[in-house]
Amino acid sequence: MNMPKRQIAGRILHHEKLAKYTSWRVGGEAEKMFIPSDKADLELFIEQLDENEPVFWLGLGSNLLIRDGGLTGTVINTRGKVKQMKLLDETHLYVECGVPCAHVARFCTENNLSNAEFFAGIPGTMGGALKMNAGAFGAETWSLVEQVEVQKPGQKIVSKTADKFAVGYRSVNGIDDACFMSAILKLERAKDQKGQERIKELLAKRNATQPTNLPSCGSVFRNPENDYAARLIESSELKGYKIGGAEVSTKHANFIVNTESATAADIEQLITYVQNEVYKKQNVLLKTEVCMVGKPG
């Protein structure tokens, strides 16, 4: 007897405006957007996709510039979905790709686990943190990763150990066109009860030094070896420089903020201008940390 084929439970939207999903508040439309009901639903959807279907994953929309012409193919939106997180034993934590990093930090401190406090400073989801080895306050995601689940369009989900990937500063190689679905993190038992205090101190430091009151993507450029992008930009006298509604933050030079009605094109032009000026004045070519995708408007 043939079992009935499982049906997709999530929502599929067409020509969805993406600006409301990005922390910069810019971006064109998604040709198609899928919002899964949970991880099992997402696995089924990916398994049934054509293997050549262009797929883009969207979490909290930070570290991301979607151009004004939008995205073709399928955008998978995990915001508020695929969010299970549970302890497997005293030191191992299972986290799905849609869990906000800040929730990981809080969950760990509440369960007397240490070394995850830095996640409080990453304004994205675990899926994005895994993809780019996101970091904050001197610590990085993959220092804790023991195992991950990945999946490619048209294929089933598979598990891989961390040693199957080549991990560097804001980079992870070895995933090809697969996407991270979940991770198992190896943590340590806390030696004291001060995890919440450490998170508060880290967030206070972030709020004191970063423009959290205006739309931004987080840090725009990677720090060059033995230097800081913010220092190079500030030394090039670019703080406050504007193109359209996009401005180099006067509070932190490695942030570009949307001061009013910036377009993605304004932001991208400003990124290029900063790179050119810093190279001209400091002889350093800044590499972008932000992911820039989509068609020009």
Same domain, 91 and 189: yes
Catalytic residue among 170, 216, 249, 268: 170
Residues 192 and 236 in one domain: no
* Boundary (domain end) residue, out of 196, 224, 245: 196
At residue 189, the pLDDT reads 92
Domain of residue 281: give its range: 212-293
pTM equals 0.88
Catalytic, 182? Answer: no
289 is annotated as an active-site residue: yes
The Cβ of residue 11 has, within 10 Å, a number of other Cβ atoms equal to 12
170 catalytic? Reply is: yes
Q: Are residues 147 and 237 in the same domain?
A: no
Which pLDDT score, from 0 to 100, does residue 23 have? 95
Domain count, the chain: 2
76 falls within a domain: no
pLDDT at 5: 60
CATH number, position 105: 3.30.465.10
Q: Which residues of 230-247 are buried (b: 16+ CB within 10 A; e: fewer)?
A: bebbbebebbebebbbbb
Residue after which a domain boundary falls, among 163, 196, 229: 196
- How does pLDDT run across 107-139, given as a tens digit for each residue? 999 999 999 999 998 889 999 999 999 988 889
Residue 111, domain member (yes or no): yes
pLDDT-derived band at 3 (thresholds 50, 70, 90) equals: very low
Whole-number average pLDDT of the chain? 93
List the catalytic residue out of 62, 182, 216, 219: 219
Span 254-275, mean pLDDT? 97
Range 268-275 contact pairs with CB under 8 angstroms and sequence separation of 24 or more: 268/65, 268/67, 268/292, 269/243, 269/244, 270/241, 270/242, 270/243, 270/246, 271/65, 271/220, 273/241, 273/243, 274/220, 274/221, 274/233, 274/236, 274/238, 274/241, 274/248, 275/221
| Residues 241 and 265 placed together within one structural domain of the fold | yes
pLDDT tens digits, 47-88: 999 999 999 999 999 989 999 999 999 999 999 999 999 999
